[in-house]
Amino acid sequence: MTSQAVDSCIPEGTNSEYLKYRTPLVSRYASPEMMYNYSDMKKFSTWRKLWLWLAKAEQLKEMESNLMKIDFDFAAAQEKRVRHDVMAHVHTFAECCPMSAPIIHLGATSAYVGDNTDLIVMRDGFDILLPKLARCIQRLSTFADDNKDLPCLSYTHLQPAQLSTVGKRACLWIQDLLMDLRNLERARNDLRFRGVKGTTGTQASFLALFDDKLVTEMAGFKQHYLICGQTYSRKIDVDSLSVLASLGSTVHKICTDIRLLANFKELEEPFEKEQIGSSAMPYKRNPMRSERCCSLARHLMCLIQDPLMTASTQWMERTLDDSANRRICLAEAFLTADCILGTLQNITEGLVVYPKVIEKRVKQELPFMATENIIMAMVKAGGNRQECHENIRVLSHEAGAVVKQEGGDNDLVTKFLNTEVKPVLTTYADKLSGTARLDL
């Protein structure tokens, strides 16, 4: 379809912003602070700060007063003319700082502004994510403490295994999130400034002009990388996105558990009064927040492939085939992690537990839960472990057939009482207490 044909399909007066692709990460999910962190204003004003930190004292005031005065239309026209984003913004900055124009970008490289800005933005991105992750951990910790004494079925292979508690299961989630907190803090603190280095990382013309340590400190970093090519090592991007991908796997696991428990009707994420679960089935309460987290986490986990491929294909001191890729994957990784943590916090602040449903499910499976202990009691009474296991296995499968094939109740205890297991079972039952006691 030609552009003229497309134009003819568009109603007159339509807002032009709706005619462009907009990533859902920005239009639907990400927080204002993370969107700003990866905005053009943050990027290009940081470029200007980096030029400011290199400037001579007499030009500082003029440059500093124009850091946020960015004519994006002029910059776009310049980039179209020179086909170079950094030089386009050099000209744009010089346009509003005529006294400083002679020294803007003096001795600098594109990587000086580009790479150092990426490092600053990633550091600030981690600073946005870490408090959000800590809040999710705190909310889940409160939930775990509130439900530490509520017995529930635990599962292996998604089959009922043994008794646990709702709080204990939440502790599994918390433990993984604490590892992610450690990993994000470590990745954030391991970031260094690229520093003031020349075209191939040798400092070259910089050496006589600038104090690397001073510029590093002005950027808010304690250290800079001693060894660089034209760019900082792209393995640094791998390290940063690895911890975000790992966080994605944790959140996917947590929200998958919540989705399964919602199917069991044991646990639900928040569901608002007027929320619609399905356009066709009005009774449905779909776990849409958890589904969103899983969907976005899948994207986050996949993004690690980009920096891995980029790091592996950097020829000698660098190539430019990293540039377009990094514009997408770095921003999307932090924006996606931000979306996920914001949604996870909402989930963890409003989890709803249904104790009666949990109790009913426990009672249905409790005779099976007790079989391992019964076998041990039979062995202590003189039985052979393998023979006891086989007898209990046969009776358990018979009881399971009653439930699955006939839709009846679990009659395993009745079957025990009609066999030679009864004497041992009766003795053992006296030792059972609380919710685990069998009514004989």
Q: Is 22 exposed, middle or buried (0-12, 13-18, 19+ CB in 10 A)?
A: exposed
- Looking only at the bridges linking them, the beta strands covering 352-353 and 159-165 are unpaired
Measured CA to CA, the distance from residue 149 to residue 438 in angstroms comes to 19
Active-site residue (options: 278, 295, 312, 397): 278
Cα dihedral 196, 202, 203, 205 sign: negative
Measured CA to CA, the distance from residue 404 to residue 401 in angstroms comes to 5
> Could you confirm whether 278 is annotated as catalytic?
yes
Written as one string, the DSSP assignment of 47-81 is: HHHHHHHHS-GGGHHHHHTTTT---HHHHHHHHHH
Active-site residue (options: 3, 157, 279, 433): 157
Q: Does an H or E element contain 95, and which? A: helix 85-96
> Could you confirm whether 157 is annotated as catalytic?
yes
Q: Which long-range contacts (CB under 8 A, 24 or more apart) does 267-273 make?
A: 267/166, 267/351, 267/352, 267/353, 267/354, 268/351, 268/352, 268/354, 269/347, 269/350, 269/351, 269/352, 270/346, 270/347, 270/349, 270/350, 270/351, 270/352, 271/352
Measured CA to CA, the distance from residue 44 to residue 67 in angstroms comes to 9
Look up tokens 């050099």; give the residue. 90
Return all residues near 98 (Cβ < 8 A) that are at least 6 apart: none
Give me the active site residues, please: 157, 278
